[in-house]
Amino acid sequence: MSWAARIKDVPSPLESSSELLDIVADTMPSLRSLSKYALSALGASQSVFADSNMFEAVSSCSNPQLSCHNTTVQPNLCCFNAPGGSLLQTQFWDTNPPTGPDGSWTIHGLWPDNCDGSYDANCDSRRAYTNITEILRAAGADETLSYMQTYWKDYQGDDESFWEHEWSKHGTCISTLNPSCYADYQPTQEVPDFFNRTVSLFQSLPSYTILADAGITPSSSKTYTSAQIQAALSAAHADHEVYLGCSGSSLNEIWYFFNVRGTLQTGTFEPADPLASSKCPSTGIRYLPKGASSTPTGTRTSTAPTSTSTSAPGTPFSGKGHLTIIPSGSSASKGCLISNGKWYVSGTCATYTASGSSDSFTLRSSKGACGVVEGAFTCGSGVSEGQAFSAEDGKLAYEGSAEFSADATPSGTQQVVVSAGGSGDVGVEVGWEGA
């Protein structure tokens, strides 16, 4: 995914936070309600709160419950993570370009998934802060920031935009980080709590060392089985399996699942079973060294050949073809993707060119290169060249997952954005029809 640089907003002082004190006493039926109330007092401020002692001033919680294990509705979402009660500490292994230290995985993020495996995203646009480095420095979180500069890396070098993206998309959906949960809340007070906790979790999960201790080390020639990798990682995760992500046959992601007893800030993270199925083959998994000259992992980029594939006609995702849309639960296609990458059910399907192999290929339409930008499948001048896709059971896959979705099914001449992942209301698969 390309982390496009964003225009930096100039911080402005908070006009008033006194209204927030009244909110704490109110009932809080949902995360989105919490956000609405808190933002009525906050406005659009991005002021940085510099008194680090205040970051510990969260609501007191007695007898906290374990998320995703409650049998009754928990009314106080400042003490109970909901609806995102399944917390995932996600890690990258990027080899081309090599990202982070050679002997360590890197941080992807900390994600609050719902207890059924679905998830919310970008829950509070008014807190989509664009000055993470400044916020952490002002809070005295220099040690966390320094660690992030080494281990929380963007593969294109734009770490700040990567951190902003992870906070805005995932951090704003964590209920116990809502402004209403802080006594005498000051703007951005919750941000260091998110990054401190993410870093501390990552430090407790040294995936490179865990795998190496089991004899699983990066190699350009060796391959491993899913069972070998799972055995090593689950032993370090209280015997709970993890999610393994592969680009083709190359290992490039690990997700550790947790439930939380209490708040993200001070609660206990308890290992849990994964709510997503791993996207790696059972055998022949490659764990490439960083900087290996062989086929890259294809996490978000590819060095696949630019010439058109010479595979036999009809081979999925080779040569020229159409990207068809198959809604979940249906075996028949309904419309296709037009040249800008949007879902359309009327008119003529666009012709796409797939270049590479089924394990790693690029896509182009008449608009230009295609890729996933801010979660959306897009084609055109704003897409960086070389974003890699793969084929999973004949369907288009991005970062090892064939799951795509849209907010609605188009009708008539409507054009609807299709996003990677299952965040939309309409689940879809993207198929290939040779031109």
CATH number of the domain encompassing residue 169: 3.90.730.10
DSSP-assigned letters across all residues of 351-364:
PEEEEEETTEEEEE
Amino acid 332: pLDDT: 66
Amino acid 331: pLDDT: 60
Long-range contacts of 198-201 (CB under 8 A, 24+ apart): 198/89, 198/107, 198/109, 198/110, 198/152, 199/107, 199/144, 199/147, 199/148, 199/151, 199/152, 201/89, 201/110, 201/256, 201/258, 201/269
Amino acid 347: pLDDT: 62
β partners of residue 321: 352, 434
Asked if residue 336 and residue 247 are part of one domain, the reply reads no
Q: Average pLDDT of 317-346?
A: 84
Question: Which of 164, 165, 166, 190 is the catalytic position?
Answer: 166
Asked if residue 344 and residue 249 are part of one domain, the reply reads no
Active site residue 108: yes
> In 3-state terms, what secondary structure has residue 375?
coil
Asked if residue 176 and residue 57 are part of one domain, the reply reads yes
As a whole number of angstroms, the distance between CA 207 and CA 193 comes to 23
How many helices and strands, by DSSP H and E, does the chain display? 8, 17
Amino acid 62: pLDDT: 86
Amino acid 205: pLDDT: 98
Question: Which of 108, 165, 237, 322 is the catalytic position?
Answer: 108
Q: Does 291 map to a domain?
A: no
Amino acid 383: pLDDT: 87
Core vs surface per residue 125-153: b (16+ CB within 10 A) or e: ebbbbbbbebbbebbebeebbebbeebbb
Q: Which domain, by its residues, includes 139?
A: 18-271
With contact defined as beta carbons under 8 Å apart, do 92 and 106 qualify?
yes
As a whole number of angstroms, the distance between CA 283 and CA 120 comes to 33
Query: Tell me: the pLDDT tens digits for 379-396?
Result: 988 888 778 999 988 899
Which value, to the nearest 10 degrees, does the dihedral of the CA atoms of residues 354, 357, 358, 363 take?
-20
Query: Tell me: the pLDDT tens digits for 190-221?
Result: 999 999 999 999 999 999 999 999 999 999 99
Tokens describing residue 420:
């990677």
Query: Tell me: the pLDDT tens digits for 262-285?
Result: 999 999 999 999 999 999 999 999
Q: Does 263 map to a domain?
A: yes
Which value, to the nearest 10 degrees, does the dihedral of the CA atoms of residues 338, 421, 157, 192 take?
140
With contact defined as beta carbons under 8 Å apart, do 278 and 271 qualify?
no
With contact defined as beta carbons under 8 Å apart, do 277 and 283 qualify?
no
Alpha carbon distances (Å) from 212 to 98, 204, 207, 228, 292: 19, 16, 8, 12, 18
Active site residue 165: no
Query: Tell me: the pLDDT tens digits for 337-357?
Result: 988 899 988 667 888 999 988
Q: Average pLDDT of 132-141?
A: 97
Give the CATH number for residue 384: 2.80.10
Query: Count of domains in the chain?
Result: 2
Q: Does 283 map to a domain?
A: no
Q: Does 156 map to a domain?
A: yes
Amino acid 167: pLDDT: 97
Q: Does 403 map to a domain?
A: yes
Q: Give which of 172, 60, 151 is closest to 102, Cα–Cα.
A: 151
Q: Does 26 map to a domain?
A: yes
Q: Name the range with the highest mean pLDDT among 13-17, 41-45, 122-126, 289-293.
A: 122-126
Say how far residue 210 (Cα) sits from the centre of its chain. 23
Q: Does 113 map to a domain?
A: yes
As a whole number of angstroms, the distance between CA 200 and CA 191 comes to 14
Give the residue from 211, 244, 271 where a domain finishes. 271
Tokens describing residue 380:
């055109």
Tokens describing residue 250:
């190359």
Q: Does 99 map to a domain?
A: yes
Asked if residue 215 and residue 347 are part of one domain, the reply reads no
Helix crossing, 191-203 with 159-169: angle to 10°? 100
Question: Which of 170, 241, 322, 392 is the catalytic position?
Answer: 170
> In 3-state terms, what secondary structure has residue 117?
coil
Asked if residue 349 and residue 207 are part of one domain, the reply reads no
Give the residue from 231, 254, 271 where a domain finishes. 271
Q: Name the range with the highest mean pLDDT among 10-19, 98-107, 292-301, 340-349.
A: 98-107
Amino acid 393: pLDDT: 83
Asked if residue 244 and residue 131 are part of one domain, the reply reads yes
With contact defined as beta carbons under 8 Å apart, do 402 and 380 qualify?
no
